[in-house]
Chain A
Amino acid sequence: MSGQIEWVALSVFIFFFALVTVMGFLAARWKSGAIGADLDEWGLGGRQFGIWITWFLVGGDFYTAYTVIAVPALVYAVGAYGFFALPYTIIVYPFVFAVMPMLWKTAHANGHVTAADVVHGAYNSRALELAVAITGIIATMPYIALQLVGMSAVIHTMGLSGDLPIVAAFIILALYTYSSGLRAPALIAFVKDTMIYIVVLVAVVIVPAKLGGYGAVFAAADQAFAAKGGATGLILKDSQMLAYATLALGSAFAAFMYPHTLTGVFASNSADTIRKNAILLPAYTLLLGLIALLGYMAYAAHIKVDTPNEMVPVLFKTLFPSWFAGFAFSAIAIGALVPAAVMSIGAANLFTRNVWKTYLDPSISHAGEASVAKITSLVVKVGALAFTLFLPVQYALDLQLLGGLWILQTFPALVFGLYTRWFRAGGLLAGWAVGILWGSWTAWSNGLKPIATLSLGGATYSFYVGLGALILNIVVAVIVTAVVAWISPAEDRSVAVRS
Chain B
Amino acid sequence: MWILLLVPFIGLLWVPFYNFTDPALFGFPVFYWYQLAWVPITSLLIWLVYRSRAHDDA
Contact = CB atoms under 8 A, between A and B. Distances in A.
B45 A87 contact: no
A241 interface: yes
A235 B21 contact: yes
Contacts of A270: 58
Contact of A272 (B9, B38, B58): B58
A78 to B, nearest CB: 14
A167 interface: no
Contacts of A282: 39-40, 42-43
Contacts of B47: 279
A105 interface: yes
B24 to A, nearest CB: 7
Nearest to A96: B46
A401 interface: no
Given A87-B38, A90-B8, A285-B39, A236 B15 contact: yes
B38 to A, nearest CB: 5
Contacts of B2: 98
Contacts of A433: none
A380 B47 CA distance: 39
Contacts of A98: 2, 5
A218 B28 CA distance: 7
Contacts of A90: 8, 12, 35, 38-39, 42
Contact of A234 (B9, B12, B29): B29
Contacts of A217: 27
Interface residues of B, number: 34
A249 interface: yes
A80 B29 CA distance: 11
Contacts of B21: 234-235
A94 B19 contact: no
A286 B26 CA distance: 16
Interface in A206-264: 208, 213-218, 234-236, 241-242, 244-245, 248-249
A322 B26 CA distance: 30
Nearest to B12: A87
A275 B50 contact: yes
Contacts of A104: 58
A193 to B, nearest CB: 17
B27 A218 contact: yes
Contacts of B24: 215, 218
B6 A235 contact: no
Contacts of B13: 87, 91, 245, 248-249
Interface residues of A, number: 43
A218 B20 CA distance: 13
Interface string A278-295: 111010011001000100
Contact of B31 (A234, A242, A248): A234
A92 B24 CA distance: 27
B36 interface: yes
A87 to B, nearest CB: 4
A93 interface: yes
Contact of A101 (B19, B31, B36, B58): B58
Given A101-B58, A214-B28, A282-B39, A94 B20 contact: no
A276 B39 CA distance: 15
B28 A94 contact: no
Contact of A213 (B20, B27, B43): B27
A86 interface: yes
A86 B34 CA distance: 11
B28 A248 contact: no
A461 interface: no
A138 interface: no
Contact of B12 (A80, A248, A279): A248
B46 A97 contact: yes
Contacts of A105: 58
Contacts of A87: 12-13, 35, 38
A213 B26 CA distance: 9
13 contacts: A80-B31, A83-B32, A87-B12, A91-B9, A93-B46, A101-B58, A208-B27, A215-B24, A235-B29, A245-B12, A245-B13, A271-B58, A282-B40
Minimum-distance CB pairs A-B, first 9: A214-B27, A215-B27, A271-B58, A94-B5, A87-B12, A241-B15, A245-B13, A282-B43, A286-B39
Interface of A: 80, 83, 86-87, 90-91, 93-94, 97-98, 101, 104-105, 108, 208, 213-218, 234-236, 241-242, 244-245, 248-249, 270-272, 275-276, 278-280, 282, 285-286, 289, 293
